[in-house]
Structures are given as C-alpha cells and as structure tokens.
C-alpha cells in the first residue's frame, strides 16, 4: 500500500512539472513556434555575454535615455537623447559627440536625438524628431550640413518628425516620419523630397466592410479618420532591400521592400513573422495583444531580427520568414530586458539597448545558435551539403526544430536521394519542396516501370487473346464432333 501511494505521489509530481498545453516556458529563449503556430520547447540559441554600463565605457557621459544604434563595419554607433557614442566592435569608446558647431560658428548642444545611421562613406546621420531636422556629420564628427524639413506639396501644414532613418548605397535617405501615413519619406542625396515610399494601405475588417455598404454619406466622409498604419523603424540589407517594421495589430508587421516599394518578403509554409503567436487577449498588469516590432536589423546572409516592445523579446527569422530563435523576455534576471529600444547584429552577436537598465547587452550564440547560423549561411550561398551538416548538428540539440528537417530534406533532394528527402521534408512541414521530391519520385518510378509495365500489359493482352482463341477453337471442334 505504501509503495502504491509513493508511486501515485511521484506521478503527480511529474505531471505537475510538465507545462500545460500552450504554456510558454519561462526560461529566456527556451521556446519557439512550430509551422502550425504552436509553442514548443527549444534550446536557447543565444546567451548573455556581457552587459555594458556607463562605468564600463570610459569617455561616454552616460547611458541614460538610449534611443537607437547602428553597426557599420568595425564601428558601433550608440545614440542617446543628448549624445552620440562611437565605439569599436570591442566596445571601446572612440568618440563622444554631445555638441556640434553650426554654420555660424556657434556651439550647439545635441538634444532630442531619435535615430542614427551611417552611409557607405562613413558619414553619420542623426535625426531630431522634435526639431524636424537631420544632422549630417562627417566621419570625424564635424557637422557637414543640416537637412531641414523637405518641401512636400500638400503637406505644408503636417508636422514633420523624422524618428528613424537609413541611407542606401546611392546616398538616398529614407526617413520614418511620425504621423505621415503616406509611407516613408524618400529624400534625394541633396536632401530634397523625392517621393513617399512603401505606403501601407488601409485594410478593413469584414464588419467594417459591411458597415461601409450601409453607411450614409456623412458617415463615409469621416473615413479619413481611418488612416494607414505608421512605420516604426527601418534597415537596409546588403542587397539594398529595405526592411521596415509596422505598428499594426493585423497582417504582417515586418516587410521587405524593393525599389518600387513593394513587399517581397516571402513566407514559405509558416505563419507570418509577427512575433509571438500566442498571447493574452485581456488582463491587468500583463502585456496583452499581439507583438509590436520597434526595431529591425539584418546580417549578410539573410537573417533578420525584430525587437518586440510588447514583451521585450528578439525574434530571429531566415529570408523565408521561418522562425529561427527567440531571445530574452521581460524581467530583471540575467538575459532578460526591462525596456529594450533597439537590437542590432555585431557580427553573429546581437546587441540590445535597454533604456530602463541603462545598459548595452551583448548576446553571443550558443553551440546550438552557431549551428543554426552556419546552416543558414551555407544555405544562403547554395552550399546545401555543408548546410545539411550544420542542420543535423542543430537537430542534435533540438529535435523540435522543424526547419532543420526541411534543410536536410532540401540537401537530400539536390543529391538525388528523393525517398529520404520526402521523409525529412514531411517532418519539416516543407510542402513546397515535398511536392518537388514527390514529383521526382513519381517521374523516376514512371521511367523505371513504364517499359516493363507496357511489356507486361501487352503480354497480358496477347495472352488473353490467345486463351480466348484457344477456347473458341476448342468449342468449334467439340461442336463438329
């Protein structure tokens, strides 16, 4: 009897330790989503390497009021409300800019800074939203020019607040301007207005569409209050495509825009890259509603990361919009964030600015994370055999990683191992390439069995005709007899 009680208590403890269906594991970065949008356990892909505070960065005034960051080559540009800090990739302060000399020779303090970027020549651009201007510095920190409000016909009475910006290789400036719903503001290299870029269209729910059908003329005139959603941040990848985050609660909140401003982000056999797919719809004192992306950055082989302001997490995706890993989470423990405002790649490391902690947190990939990045890097350059090796390594750490099965299946498909490829592609929920593997198997089987099958069919027909003929002749002989 005592043994039975002990066994029951042990079973109850085991079941209590298991997470309930849909419950997210609390360890930072220890979950991800399946292609069906269900949370599953995962191994952390990144771990906190070091947190830098003002005391760790001699030459920086403070790390209060952190706003933005940009990484260019071996330089890291960290922007505060009143200071631009230029660091080496090893986080040594090279220069601090808290004031500049204007065209009249007057020293002006840097205030109200909101965004920073760097062009291909090392020129530094700092946006000041409240002042409605962009400061263009030379690489050494001297002010080159002030780009003021552009002349946009029909928008003379609309406030111009440049909050974030990016510069492409042609020196065009793309500005995320708060309150301008027509899209990003594209400026020519001389600072003049070129066009609105990547406009977000107004979308209506089914209920709103029905309401529009029966609305009166006066009600329809108020439709101007239904405005497109704002952009929140921007980044340009190595191929010149623009990644932009959008403040929206429906549809994609991350886009990859081509030169025409069209969204070309290809999502294959997976939910849209919208951050957390399971979330609280209501509650008090807890984050509710879908993720809100406020920052985006890319690396040279197609991986892009997005920072979720709602739940203080960094989501990493490959070029097909498939989830790779999740980093961080809200909290005060090591590896968590209190109020993150930006996230950027520093090589394969990821840097996160935490405004409330007044820190720069640097995360390094674990062995599992390095395997993921190595696999994605080789797959990006079409070296599928090498990619398969690292996908298998990633699977050794995390058997729930469906993308790894897909990567191995694609490699087997190109190697002509179609049957095995179908098995891996099925486990990886890769319908597109599973169809291709199935087609290869079907064509192979047709080629292998078509001639023997036709010979067998013809032989069967001949045999059938012969049997009928023999039976007919036998009946005729029996009739004569």
pLDDT single digits (tens) 271-303: 889 999 988 888 888 888 899 999 999 999 999
Mean pLDDT (whole number) for 204-217: 62
Q: Given a cut of 60, is residue 227 above it in pLDDT?
A: no
Beta strands in 319-467 (DSSP E): 323-328, 340-346, 349-354, 359-365
* Residue 153 · residue 105 · CB < 8 Å: no
Residue 17 lies in a domain: no
Residue 288 lies in a domain: yes
- Do 413 and 340 belong together in one domain? no
Task: Output the average pLDDT for the chain.
Answer: 86
Lowest mean pLDDT among 39-48, 224-233, 390-399, 433-442: 224-233
Token output for 34: 């399946």
Lowest mean pLDDT among 31-45, 225-239, 363-377, 421-435: 225-239
Q: What percent of the chain has pLDDT over 70?
A: 86
The distance in angstroms from the start CA to the end CA of the chain is: 91
Q: Domain boundary at 365, 400, 423, which? A: 365
- Do 149 and 279 belong together in one domain? yes
Q: Among candidates 114, 124, 127, 133, which has minimal Cα distance to 86?
A: 124
Between 247 and 51, the higher pLDDT residue: 51
Q: Which domain holds residue 131?
A: 35-365
Domain at 41, CATH number: 2.120.10.30
pLDDT tens figures, 172-194: 999 999 888 888 999 999 999 99
Token output for 440: 């290869």
- φ, ψ of residue 251 to 5 degrees: the values are 80, -175
Q: Given a cut of 80, is residue 325 above it in pLDDT?
A: yes
Residue 12 lies in a domain: no
Q: Domain boundary at 330, 365, 400, which? A: 365
- Do 143 and 241 belong together in one domain? yes
- Do 153 and 287 belong together in one domain? yes
Residue 459 lies in a domain: yes
- Do 283 and 391 belong together in one domain? no
- Do 134 and 276 belong together in one domain? yes
Mean pLDDT (whole number) for 317-344: 93
- Round the CA-based radius of gyration of the chain to a whole number and report it: 30
pLDDT tens figures, 470-479: 887 777 777 6
Domain at 471, CATH number: 1.25.40
- Do 304 and 440 belong together in one domain? no
**CA distance readout (Å), 466 to 461, 463, 473:** 8, 5, 11
- Do 47 and 123 belong together in one domain? yes
Residue 395 lies in a domain: yes
Q: Given a cut of 50, is residue 91 above it in pLDDT?
A: yes
Query: Distance between CA 182 and CA 197 in Å, rounded?
Result: 8
Lowest mean pLDDT among 94-108, 241-255, 376-390: 241-255
- Do 336 and 458 belong together in one domain? no
- Do 300 and 339 belong together in one domain? yes
Q: Given a cut of 70, is residue 133 above it in pLDDT?
A: yes
Under DSSP, the state recorded for 209 is H
Q: Among candidates 367, 335, 330, 333, which has minimal Cα distance to 348?
A: 367
Between 230 and 363, the higher pLDDT residue: 363
**Residues ≥6 apart with Cβ < 8 Å to 157:** none
Angle at 8 between CA 3 and CA 12, to 5 degrees: 150
Residue 70 lies in a domain: yes
**Residues ≥6 apart with Cβ < 8 Å to 348:** 299, 364, 365, 369, 370, 373
Residue 370 lies in a domain: no
* pLDDT for the residue 206: 56
- Do 425 and 344 belong together in one domain? no
- Beta-bridge partners for 162: 177
Q: Domain boundary at 334, 365, 396, which? A: 365
pLDDT tens figures, 22-51: 333 334 458 999 888 889 999 999 999 999
Residue 192 lies in a domain: yes
- Do 393 and 335 belong together in one domain? no
Mean pLDDT (whole number) for 80-91: 96
* pLDDT for the residue 222: 60
Lowest mean pLDDT among 103-112, 231-240, 242-251: 242-251
- Quote the number of domains for the chain: 2
């Amino acid at each position: 009897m005592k043994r039975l009680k002990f066994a029951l208590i042990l079973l109850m403890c085991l079941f209590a330790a298991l997470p309930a269906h849909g419950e997210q594991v609390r360890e930072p970065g220890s979950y991800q989503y399946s292609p069906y949008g269900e949370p599953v356990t995962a191994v952390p892909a990144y771990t906190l390497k070091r947190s830098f505070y003002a005391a760790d960065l001699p030459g920086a005034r403070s790390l209060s009021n952190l706003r933005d960051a940009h990484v260019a080559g071996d330089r890291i540009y960290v922007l505060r409300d009143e200071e631009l800090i230029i660091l080496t990739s090893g986080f040594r302060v090279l220069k601090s800019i808290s004031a500049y000399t204007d065209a009249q020779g007057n020293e002006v303090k840097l205030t109200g800074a909101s965004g920073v970027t760097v062009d291909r020549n090392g020129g530094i651009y700092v946006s000041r939203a409240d002042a409605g201007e962009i400061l263009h510095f030379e690489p050494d920190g001297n002010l080159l020019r002030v780009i003021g409000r552009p002349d946009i016909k029909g928008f003379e009475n609309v406030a111009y607040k440049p909050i974030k910006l990016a510069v492409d290789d042609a020196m065009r400036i793309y500005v995320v301007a708060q309150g301008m719903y027509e899209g990003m503001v594209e400026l020519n290299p001389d600072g003049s207005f070129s066009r609105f870029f990547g406009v977000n269209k107004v979308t209506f729910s089914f209920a709103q569409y029905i309401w529009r059908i029966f609305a009166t003329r006066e009600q329809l005139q108020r439709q101007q209050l239904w405005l497109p959603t704002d952009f929140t941040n921007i980044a340009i990848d190595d191929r010149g495509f623009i990644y932009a985050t959008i403040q929206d609660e429906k549809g994609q909140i991350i886009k990859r825009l081509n030169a025409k401003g069209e969204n070309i982000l290809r999502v294959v056999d997976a939910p849209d890259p919208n951050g957390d797919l399971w979330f609280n719809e209501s509650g008090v004192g807890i984050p509710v509603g879908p993720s809100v992306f406020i920052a985006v950055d890319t690396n040279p082989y197609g991986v892009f990361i997005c920072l979720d302001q709602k739940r203080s997490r960094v989501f990493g995706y490959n070029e097909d919009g498939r989830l790779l890993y999740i980093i961080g989470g809200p909290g005060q423990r090591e590896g968590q964030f209190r109020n993150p405002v930006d996230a950027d790649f520093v090589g394969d490391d990821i840097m996160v600015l935490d405004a409330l902690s007044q820190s720069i947190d640097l995360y390094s990939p674990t062995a599992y994370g390095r395997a993921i990045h190595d696999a994605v890097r080789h797959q990006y350059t079409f070296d599928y055999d090498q990619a398969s090796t690292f996908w298998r390594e990633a699977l050794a750490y995390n058997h729930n990683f469906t993308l790894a099965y897909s990567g191995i299946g694609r490699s087997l498909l190109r190697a002509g191992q179609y049957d095995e490829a179908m098995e891996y592609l099925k486990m990886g929920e890769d319908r597109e390439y599973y169809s291709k593997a199935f087609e290869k198997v079907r064509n192979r089987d047709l080629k292998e069995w078509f001639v023997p099958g036709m010979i067998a069919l013809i032989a069967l027909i001949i045999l059938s005709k012969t049997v009928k003929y023999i039976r007919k002749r036998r009946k005729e002989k029996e009739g004569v007899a």
